[in-house]
Amino acid sequence: MEEKKQPVILAVDDDDVNLFMVGSILGNESKVVKKSSGVTALKYLAENSVDLVLLDFNMPGMDGMEVLAEMRRREEMKNVPVIIMTGEIDVELETSVFHAGAVDFVRKPFAPMVLRERTKRVLQNEYLKRNLRKEVVRQTRLAEERLAASRRLFDQTVLALVKTIDAKDKYTQGHSQRVAYYTRLLGKRDGEGEERLQELYCMGLLHDIGKIGVPGAIINKTSRLTDEEYAIIKSHTTMGAEILKPIVEFPKLSIGARSHHERWDGRGYPDGIAGNDIPRDARLIAVADAYDAMTSRRSYRGVMEQERVRTEIERGRGSQFDPYFADLMLSLIDDDKEFKMRSDPVDPNAEGASERNKG
């Protein structure tokens, strides 16, 4: 029923008169292909596309039900609609025809109007179904493109925001991106799938979002912080959680921001929770954050050697860090023989450091 071509109807009957009648009744509006046996019909269907099959019920050799059953088994023809043609029909036969996968039946000898109308109805339904499938595919593709565009916009917005935060401190430029990268590496080693890895990456990117509310003078102070200044520094965790909390579609973002400075032994902040009470993702980010702090230049020291970093991670295992995630980081360090993990995959020349400690 497509505008560009006539529908193709395959008529299958061992009676030449019946085939002639089908061609005469339907030939003006459709292209009618005629076959006199089930075997030749299946061969044609295997090599050609048709819109409808008119299939005789009683044929020598391979009858209509056998042909229909074979059609439904074969991938290339299983969805072609079939109308059964038969001289006799009762409730039992009608039921078996529909159960076998036929869409309708017509009685022989044909009433021209009945054959035309039933054929027309089936072809119209198939046309609508075919175009509905095409529309579903088209709308799905459009939705996927919109989603991809939204994700790109989200990623670009987050990255711009992260760079703004990191730029407040000349010693932390690139920190958030590196923490996100290490967080993803740890998640991958933990066996997480791609969707979860992307989730962890975003949590790592935004873990320090609260620093936007910390005065630059405190962030950039090179001397020892006062108790009051250190309290302001620590408040970036709760501020970050409050900033991210309204993003209801991604509730874990606020968890990473709030809890990445909690310690396994309970001596962290802001809540002083310990062990498995600390959200799992925050425990992972904490190790990534500490690794970047130690492998980045600071105002009071240079970049730590990889072996010393390993020693510090091992020392903090079970006190500062979840032992499981500490072990994952140690395994990453051990595999990083040439100390290449430190290179920022986004900006290899970026220098960075974790937040300033009190001392």
Same domain, 107 and 50: yes
Q: What does the pLDDT read at residue 302?
A: 63
**φ and ψ of 295, to 5 deg:** -100, 15
In a domain, 300, yes or no: yes
What 8-state DSSP symbol labels residue 69?
Answer: H
Residue 27 contacts residue 70 (beta carbons within 8 Å): no
Q: What's the predicted TM-score (pTM) here?
A: 0.59
Active site residue 34: no
Same domain, 113 and 204: no
Q: What does the pLDDT read at residue 41?
A: 95
304 Cβ neighbours under 8 A, 6+ residues apart: 294, 295, 312
In a domain, 145, yes or no: no
Same domain, 129 and 272: no
Q: What does the pLDDT read at residue 349?
A: 35
**φ and ψ of 317, to 5 deg:** -65, 120
In a domain, 161, yes or no: no
Q: What does the pLDDT read at residue 7?
A: 92
> What gap in Å lies between CA 20 and CA 6, rounded to an integer?
19
Same domain, 124 and 207: no
Tell how far CA 170 is from the center of its chain: 37
User: Could you list the residue range(s) of the whole structural domain that residue 119 is in?
Assistant: 8-138
Q: What does the pLDDT read at residue 248?
A: 81
> What gap in Å lies between CA 24 and CA 21, rounded to an integer?
5
Q: Which of 129, 211, 337, 340 is catalytic?
A: 211
Number of H helices, E strands in the chain: 14, 5
In a domain, 103, yes or no: yes
Same domain, 321 and 189: yes
- The CATH number linked to 63 is 3.40.50.2300
What 8-state DSSP symbol labels residue 206?
Answer: T
pLDDT in tens for each of the 359 residues of the chain? 444 478 999 999 999 999 999 999 998 889 999 999 999 999 999 999 999 999 999 899 899 999 999 999 999 999 899 999 988 777 888 888 888 889 988 988 888 999 999 999 998 888 887 777 788 888 888 888 887 887 787 777 777 778 777 777 666 678 888 999 999 999 999 999 998 999 999 999 999 999 888 888 888 777 888 999 999 999 999 999 999 988 887 888 899 999 999 999 999 999 999 999 999 999 999 999 999 988 877 655 667 788 889 999 999 999 999 999 999 999 999 998 777 777 544 443 333 333 333 33
In a domain, 2, yes or no: no
In the sheet that 8-12 helps form, which strands lie side by side, from edge to edge?
31-35, 8-12, 52-56, 82-86, 104-107
| Total domain count, the chain | 2
> What gap in Å lies between CA 94 and CA 106, rounded to an integer?
11
**φ and ψ of 253, to 5 deg:** -55, -45
Same domain, 221 and 310: yes
State how far the alpha carbon of 243 is from the alpha carbons of 17, 139, 156, 207, 212, in Å: 80, 34, 18, 11, 10
